[in-house]
Structure 1
Amino acid sequence: MNKLHLLIVLTICSLAAVGSEARHIQNDVARLCQPTPLSTIQKGINCSCSAHHSLQSIPRQNDWQKNGLVLTIRLHGCRDIGSIGKELSTYHDLKTLDIQGSGIKKLENGAMIFNINITTLIITNSKISRIEPNAFIGISKLRYLDLSGNKIDNLPVEAFKEIRTLQTLNLDGNKIDFIGKEIFVRLSSLQSLSLRGNKISTIDPDAFQNTLLLGEIFLDNNVITNLDFTSFVGLPELITLSVTNNKITKLTVPCEGNGVYDTNVDGNENCSPAKLILKILNMANNDMTVLSDKFIQAMPFIEYFDVSDNSLTYIGGNAISKLRNLKVLNISGNELISPNVEWVLPIRENGAGFESDLSNNPWICNCETAKYQAFILANGNNGMVASLNVECTPKSEKEYREYQQCLNPKGEETTSAATTTYGITSSELPTVRPAHDNISFELTTARPAHDNTSSELTTADDTLNQSEYYTNSILSAILILLCLVVIGFNIYFWKFRPQQQVYRDGRIIAEYIQSIRISRSHSPRSSPALSEASSGLLDTEGGPRENVV
């Protein structure tokens, strides 16, 4: 009897404990979660946890809502939720599960096997490091999967095999270092793939096999050094490829038939590169030095081409000139020294719809630069923007003279509107101004406006051209000659003039005194002082004394 009483007491205590826990969970849910009605029978739940109050697990539907269809669950900042457990199976109509900032460490096999209606799954900024092979089994309607901001370092071959309806996959901000051969092979509906901010260094050439609907791939902020376009050739819908902020030094494109073309190796000139459908290619902030014509030929449909902030010293111009669809070309921040007119020839096809940025390159003032600037001015009525212009600074007077000669081969005044060079009038040509304190020069080029078709040219004050230079030289020589003449006259008057002046003045004084004597002999009233003065100025023979001043 005593044993029966003890059993009854234990049963009652257990039921009380379960009920207390259930009430505690219900209190947490009531405090942290708010229902969000979508309609009269369709509802959602938003739970916002804090450092002091957090859910231990995903709440069951009965913990907060017994009636109606639950379509959305959002759990933000609930760090104590460590797994997706059986609680989720109580939501049979769930379509969106959004968990951010949780403590979930892995996606277990069959975790959502009963949630067959889920279309959007977001588990971000958590601690997931492992995806088990059958983690997504049962959710055959999933279209959007976001696992960014976790610690995933390896993608199992069979991780995504059960979600063939997936259209968008975001794996940004993980620790993935390799894209294997068959990881995405079952994702036949995939349209967008983002792998930004990982540690990817290698991509298998067959990594995207069978993803025939894939339209955009983002591989920014990784450590890729060799970008092999073989991985992308078999994708007929691939429009956008972004590989910014990597360490790319080598580009490889496949040849039609057999073989590949390495842009860093001479040879294989008979290779006809396989064509890609790419329209947007962004390779900014890498370490490339060369873009060959054959590489550019592999992208005949490109519209947006960005290779800014690399170390490019050469870009094939012939291939770019044939890109009839090109609308944006950004080659700023490289090591290019001579602009090529062929880089901007698509302006004739697209007019005002073409933009280019060639800034922040160490352009030198040579004939290629002059020819390019003249072409820009000549096509200003096509709506070319200011960023198409280039600026250069002559490093020596010789370079400056040669550059001026290229601007005006006939040697005429650059202000003469009658002379034309490269299809524009000389009055429109840019001029240079020498610095006052050194031999460096500053070039001011035209800045066509965006909103009109006329090109305006800003010229430097006090321009210096060849005619002015020769004129100034002649004037300087004349002034020097005049100075020499003046100095000669001064020397003459200083050395020879004083002695002649003494003898001439002495004769004049003697004649004057002689005339006074004659007049005194005829006048009885002659002055004694004058007589004494005259006797002092004349010697006994009547001639003038020596050393008389």
Structure 2
Amino acid sequence: DSFIHPEAFSGLHQLKVLMLQNNQLKTVPNSALKNLHSLQSLRLDANHITTVPDDSFESLQQLRHLWLDDNNLMEVPVGSLRHQANLRALTLALNRILYIPDNAFANLTSLVVLHLHNNRINEIGDNCFSGLVNLETLDLNFNNLKVFPKAIQALPKLKELGFHSNDIASIPEGAFHNNPLLKTIHLYDNPLSFVGASAFQNLSSLHSLMLRGASMMQDFPILTWTNNLESLTLSGTKISSIPTDLCEDLKVLRTLDLS
């Protein structure tokens, strides 16, 4: 269906899950959602949505999970997310988003999971993730980012970070110093030529680091106090030597790929 009558769900005051995926919707049926005060999960994925009116989810104060992936969105629907303080998971993947502005998710203080993969994002504001104080999973894989996303410094509880398959050439010094809880970093398939010496230091929670396909990378990353690493993938790089104290520093390492 491409149209949902404004009264289609009237009277469903106890409705908790609404699945509208795989339809022909071009916009969020905001009028039909007006009185669904108990709704916790809303699926709008796999439609043709290009616009999300600012008042779309205004009355959905209990909303926990929102799927907007696989649509035709050109931008983050900032206005419609302003009232979602209880949202835990949001996916905007598989759209056509080019840019993430500052404070795009500022009021989503309960958000734990954010999927932005498979868009066309080539730039993000340095403060675009401010307010996401509880975010644990961030997926920026398969985009067009050219610069390391400094905005992740606003994410103190981040555990899983993916921005593989982008166009990032360098990882700055202290890149993750504000993300001490990181467990996995997937950076592979980026044209990395520079990795700051301190970039991966002091990440005592880190279990998995994937830098596969960093074809210009020549120096082995310094992993001082990143001593719980279990899996390290450095295949397809130009690294020619391994630190002599590697085994001493990485006592729990199970997988080392230098192919």
TM range (shorter): 0.7 to 0.9
- Unaligned 5+ residue runs, structure 2? none
- Unaligned 5+ residue runs, structure 1? 1-127, 255-260, 262-272, 395-402, 408-421, 430-446, 459-549
Q: CA deviation at 1:289?
A: 0.4
Counterparts of 1:363-442 in structure 2 under 5 Å?
363-365=216-218, 369-370=219-220, 372=221, 375-376=222-223, 382-389=227-234, 392-393=237-238, 424=244
- Check whether the contact 1:339–1:363 (CA below 8 A) recurs between aligned residues: no
User: What is aligned with 1:287?
Assistant: 144
Q: CA deviation at 1:379?
A: 6.5
Larger Rg: 1
More relative contact order in 1 or in 2 (CA 8 Å, sep 6+)?
A: 2
Counterparts of 1:53-452 in structure 2 under 5 Å?
128-228=1-101, 230-254=103-127, 274-277=130-133, 278-293=135-150, 295-347=151-203, 349-350=204-205, 353-365=206-218, 369-370=219-220, 372=221, 375-376=222-223, 382-389=227-234, 392-393=237-238, 424=244, 450-451=253-254
- Check whether the contact 2:214–2:237 (CA below 8 A) recurs between aligned residues: no
Relative distance call for 1:236 and 1:322 in structure 2 (3 A) is closer
Q: What do the CA deviations read for 1:207-241 (whole angstroms, capped 9, x no partner)?
A: 11222211100111111111235231111111110
User: CA separation in 2, counterparts of 1:240 and 1:132?
Assistant: 31
Runs of 4+ aligned residues of structure 1 deviating over 3 Å after TM superposition are 388-394, 447-452, 455-458
User: CA separation in 1, counterparts of 2:26 and 2:175?
Assistant: 40
Q: CA deviation at 1:390?
A: 5.6
User: CA separation in 2, counterparts of 1:225 and 1:457?
Assistant: 34
Give, as a single letter, the amino acid of the residue that structure 1 aligns with 2:27.
N
Relative distance call for 1:156 and 1:322 in structure 2 (3 A) is closer
Give, as a single letter, the amino acid of the residue that structure 2 aligns with 1:152.
L
CA RMSD in angstroms, aligned pairs only: 3.1
Q: What do the CA deviations read for 1:435-474 (whole angstroms, capped 9, x no partner)?
A: xxxxxxxxxxxx987449xx9999xxxxxxxxxxxxxxxx
Q: Name the SS of the counterpart of 2:174 in structure 1.
A: helix
User: CA separation in 2, counterparts of 1:242 and 1:311?
Assistant: 19
- Check whether the contact 1:178–1:203 (CA below 8 A) recurs between aligned residues: no
Q: What do the CA deviations read for 1:277-333 (whole angstroms, capped 9, x no partner)?
A: 21110010001100243x122222211110000111133332413311111111101
User: CA separation in 2, counterparts of 1:187 and 1:275?
Assistant: 20
- Check whether the contact 2:25–2:48 (CA below 8 A) recurs between aligned residues: yes
User: CA separation in 2, counterparts of 1:203 and 1:146?
Assistant: 21
Give the structure with the larger helix fraction.
1
Q: Name the SS of the counterpart of 2:111 in structure 1.
A: coil
- What TM-score comes out, normalization by structure 1 length? 0.43
User: CA separation in 2, counterparts of 1:274 and 1:224?
Assistant: 19
Relative distance call for 1:193 and 1:292 in structure 2 (3 A) is closer
User: CA separation in 2, counterparts of 1:364 and 1:309?
Assistant: 16
- Check whether the contact 1:180–1:203 (CA below 8 A) recurs between aligned residues: no
Q: What do the CA deviations read for 1:129-150 (whole angstroms, capped 9, x no partner)?
A: 1012222111111000001111
- What TM-score comes out, normalization by structure 2 length? 0.86
Q: CA deviation at 1:179?
A: 1.9
User: What is aligned with 1:258?
Assistant: none
User: CA separation in 2, counterparts of 1:227 and 1:457?
Assistant: 35
- Check whether the contact 1:281–1:304 (CA below 8 A) recurs between aligned residues: yes
Give, as a single letter, the amino acid of the residue that structure 1 aligns with 2:142.
N
- Check whether the contact 1:200–1:222 (CA below 8 A) recurs between aligned residues: yes
User: CA separation in 2, counterparts of 1:457 and 1:221?
Assistant: 32
- Check whether the contact 1:146–1:170 (CA below 8 A) recurs between aligned residues: yes
User: CA separation in 2, counterparts of 1:217 and 1:162?
Assistant: 21
User: CA separation in 1, counterparts of 2:183 and 2:16?
Assistant: 33
Give, as a single letter, the amino acid of the residue that structure 2 aligns with 1:218.
T
User: CA separation in 2, counterparts of 1:181 and 1:236?
Assistant: 19
- Check whether the contact 1:230–1:253 (CA below 8 A) recurs between aligned residues: no
